[in-house]
Structure formats: C-alpha cells, structure tokens
Structure 1
Amino acid sequence: MSLFLELAGIFINIVMPVFVLVLLGALAGRTLELEARTMTRYAYYLLAPAFVLNIIGDANVSGALALRMIGYIVVVEVGCALLGYGVARLLGRSRKMIGAYILVGVFGNVGNFGLPIIEFRLGTEALVPATVYFLAVSTTSFIIGVAAAGGSQGGVLAGVKSVVRTPALVAIIPALLFNMSGGMPVALERIVNLLAGAMIPTMLATLGVQLGRMQDFHFRWDML
C-alpha cells in the first residue's frame, strides 16, 4: 500500500503537471487558434538559447564529468541507431522505413518532458547535468538523423552544418565564457532568467498545440 501511495504521489506531483501543460496547450490551440510554428520558432531562437545561457553560465560541473556524460550519450545513441537499423532489416522494411526506425531510436523527448520531470523530482541543481545531457542528445540525434534520412537538399554535410548552427548549441560558447569570467552582467542575467523560465512551459504548450492539430491518425504495427 505504501508503495502504491508513493507511486501515486510521484505521478500526481511530478508527472501530471507536465501532461496538464500539454493538455492546456491542446485546448488553447483549438480555442485561440494558436500557431504552433510561431511558438516553436520563438522557443527555438529565443527561449532555448536563453535557457542554455542561464544554466551553463552559472554551472559548477567539472569538464571531465561533462566529457564522460557526452561520451556515454554518444555510445548509447549510436547503439540505439544500430538497434533500430537491425530490427528494421530483420523485418524486411524498405530503405525509407529503415531510416524511420533509426530516427525513432535516436530521438527522445528529453527536453519537453525530461527537463521539467528532473527538476520536479531532483531540484534545480539537477538541471545542470540534465542540460548537458539534453544538448548532447539533441546534437547526436540530429546528426544521426540527418545521415539516416539522407540529408536535406544540400546533402548530409549541409544538414550537419545546420545542426551546428542550432541557436541552443551556439549559446554554449558565450555561456562558457560567462561561466569562466564570473557571470553575466546583472541586467543581462535578469533578461536571460526571464526568457529561460519561459522555455519549458512554452515547449510543452507548443507540443499540445501540435498534438491538438493532428488529423487522420492511423495506427501501424511499426509504431510498436
């Protein structure tokens, strides 16, 4: 009974708030006719870089630990890609579907869901390693995903270059500089803090808007 109550408490206090924000996003998207594209671009170009600046700029984590985390993440991501490739080949799927299996294997929702759940369960101090994990997973999965999909119109190399230019990744450089120099100016820090605080709820609401606009959903066994 105590285990059930503990699990119920974890769900209500940690997991449920995340899904409530997604649900609110879906309802608001339909009622207010919100544009998911605008919300996504706002979060992508402004909120995500501010979040990285806010977390990494004040982080107190050793370089050796960060490198170990990144190395572990790369190994896991490559392993998931190989597993997806192997399963698709065993099932006799087409080349296009093999790429889809690889994409499913490497892309995890470690940002929208992972960051708030970790913060609710472990506190704000856990956001530092969680952000390192989030950035490493995003970078690795995008590079593998671009290669699996055959690249964009400009090819795989152009796709990788676009990943490197991702605003959240570009923000790592000034974040590290601020970290080594003792922090940001007060005015800039307050602006960044305000923007960073809006990232997670905006991303969750945007996900809800996108899910609320889904139409003609058809289940396929490949989804399992």
Structure 2
Amino acid sequence: MAIFLNVVLPVLLVFFTGYLVQLWKKIDIKPISTAAIYIMTPTLVFRTFYTAEINVQYLYMIIFCCMLLFALIIINKIYSKIRKYPTDLESGLILSTAFMNSGNYGAPIILFAYGEAGFVYAIIFMVLQAMIMNFFGVYYAAKGRAGIRTSLKMVFKMPATYALLVAVFIRVFDLSLPGNLFMTIDIIAEATIPTVMIILGMQLAKIKWGNFEWGKVSYGVFVRLIISPIIAWGITLLLPLDPLLTKVVIVLAATPSAATIVMYAIEFNSKPRLVSSITLISTLLSIITITLLLAILG
C-alpha cells in the first residue's frame, strides 16, 4: 500500500487531471503535443545527455532494448501463426505489445520510485525506445509497405534525435554551455514530464469504450504487462547491468502500451481499434501490476 500511495498514486493523479480536463473542455491535444515533442522533450533529452556520466551501462541498455523488442516480435509472430491471424492483425498485436510507454508513464514512475539516478536511466531508455518505435513501429504499422527508408526518415524527423547528437558532440569535444543558457534549458526540461503526463491522460480520454475484442485484448494486455517484464528479467540475467539499471529496465518493460503507437495504427489502418483498446486496458491494469512489481523489486 505504501508503494501505491507514494509512487503510483501521485503519477495517476496527474494522468487523471489530464483525463478530466479533456472530458470537460474537449481540448485540441495537437498543439500541446507538438510543443512537448518539438520543444520540451528534446530539451530534456539534451539536458540528460549533457549532464549524465556516460558509461558502458548505456551500451548494455541498447542491447537490452533490442533483445526485448525482438523477443516480443517473435512471440507475436508465433502466436499469430498458430491462430492463423492475417498480417494486419499480427501487426496490430506487435504494435500493442512490443512498444511500451516508457516516456510519459514509465519515466515519472521511475522518478518517484528510484529518484534522480533512476530517472536519468529512464530518460535515456525513453530516447532509445522512441527511436525503436519510430523505426519498427512505422514499419509494422504499414505492414512492411513503408520500407526501411521511410522508417529511417521517421527517426530523423524526431527532434530528440538531434538533441541527443548535439549533446554528445558537446561532450565529446569537452565544450560547455554558458550558465544562463543552461538555466533556460533546465527550466524547459523541468516542465516536460508533467506536461507529457497530462497529455497521456488527455489521450486516454479520447479512446472510446465498448465493442472490445476481449480475447485479443486480453492476450495483448497479458503480453505487455506480464510476459514483457518476465522477458526483461531474463535478459538482465544475461547482461552485467548495474543493480539500479536492472530495476529500472524491468519496470519500464512492464509499462502499458505506448499511446503514440495508436497514431501509427490509425494512420496506416493497422487495427487501430484493437491497438487503442489494448492501450487503454493495459494502462488501467498497470496500476495493479506496476505496484506489485515495485514491491517485488524493492
């Protein structure tokens, strides 16, 4: 109960605030989301890479993300083959289960649970996941039609990608920013997490209830919330991860389906109803699963 009250509940209240405001005012989310994507998130990414002590653990994190992604894709392909699902349904299940909400859900959970040290890992994990999602997410949403070139373009359309590159450039050449400029970056970066949390609540308010394909939704939620962290735990046994990083990646692997992936499903007509249903239900049930997981990990 203490974990729920001290870690999960504060995060949920921010989501719920966005949810209620959206139900009440029917706000256009796009301008807020655009500001978060093109201003706030790149600033937070830059600050994180500019100030973080980069070491071999980040290489292990990249390996971890790739191993988890491919394991989940393989599971979905095997399941879809057994059930004889068509390609679009297989893609919808991959979108719903292979891409987690490590940013506007996972990062604040990690901040409340493990403090600033864990939060740095969470932000870097978020950047890696965003790149993976923009590449493989587009590829599977378009059922392979988009091709590698289109997927790569999506990665390089991300402002966060350039924020990362600039930060790495400054670190490599041992440069430094003037204090006043960094203060500006710091102010914007601090606003990022609460903003994206409110956006998630608003996005969830737009998902309509009813007529869920409960068999497929149950499978997707089970893979996202249960199978994914179990696989993540197994991968951590194979990699020499720092104890704190181990906890962080397992918790992030247990977060619900990424809300961003719903937009890809809609754009490419890859079972958007199913993807949004799994996103909504996994987000609600994660209140229980994340609380239990945090209690187990300590």
Same fold (TM over 0.5): yes
State the match for 2:28 in structure 1.
35
Q: Please, which of 118, 130, 135 is the counterpart of residue 138 of structure 1?
A: 130
Indicate conservation of the 8 Å contact 2:44/2:189, yes or no.
yes
Distance change >3 Å, CA 81–CA 166, structure 1 → 2: same
Q: Within 5 Å, which residues of 2 pair with 1:201-216?
A: 201-216=194-209
1:3 aligns with: none
Which residue of 163, 183, 193 maps to 1:190?
183
What letter matches 2:185 in structure 1?
A: V
Distance 1:57 1:195 in 2: 15
Residues 169-184 of structure 1: pairs in structure 2 closer than 5 A: 169-180=161-172, 181-184=174-177
Alignment-mate amino acid for residue 16 of structure 1? L
SS at the partner of 1:123?
A: helix
RMSD value, Cα = 1.9
Matched with 2:274 is none
Normalised to the residue count of structure 1, the TM-score between the two structures is 0.89
**Residues 87 and 143 of structure 2 are in contact (CA less than 8 Å); yes or no, is this contact kept in structure 1?**
no
Structure-2 separation of matches of 1:213 and 1:104: 17
User: How many angstroms does 1:197 deviate by?
Assistant: 1.1
Q: State the one-letter code of the partner of 1:76.
A: L
Does the CA contact (< 8 Å) of 1:77 and 1:141 recur in 2? no
Deviation at 1:36, TM superposition (A): 1.1
Q: CA deviation at 1:80?
A: 0.8
SS of residue paired to 1:218: coil
* 1:55 counterpart (48, 58, 62): 48
Shift of 1:155: 4.2
2:11 is matched with which residue?
Answer: 18
Q: Please tell me whether the aligned partners of residues 15 and 200 of structure 2 are also in contact (alpha carbons under 8 angstroms).
A: yes
Q: Residue 219 of structure 1 is aligned with which of 205, 212, 215?
A: 212
Q: What 5-or-longer segments of structure 2 have no aligned partner?
A: 219-298
Which of 1 and 2 has higher RCO (CA within 8 Å, sep 6+)? 1
Q: Deviations over 1:47-105 (max 9, x none)?
A: 1000101111101121x221121012111111111111211221111110011111122
2:73 is the alignment partner of 1:81? yes
In structure 1, runs of 5+ residues without a counterpart are: 1-7
Contact kept? 2:135, 2:154, Cα under 8 Å:
no
The one-character-per-residue Cα deviations of 1:95-120 (angstroms, maximum 9, x if unpaired) are: 10011111122210111111111111
Corresponding position of 1:124: 116
- Shifted more, 140-149 versus 14-23: the winner is 140-149
Q: Deviations over 1:134-166 (max 9, x none)?
A: 111221233222222236986441232122331
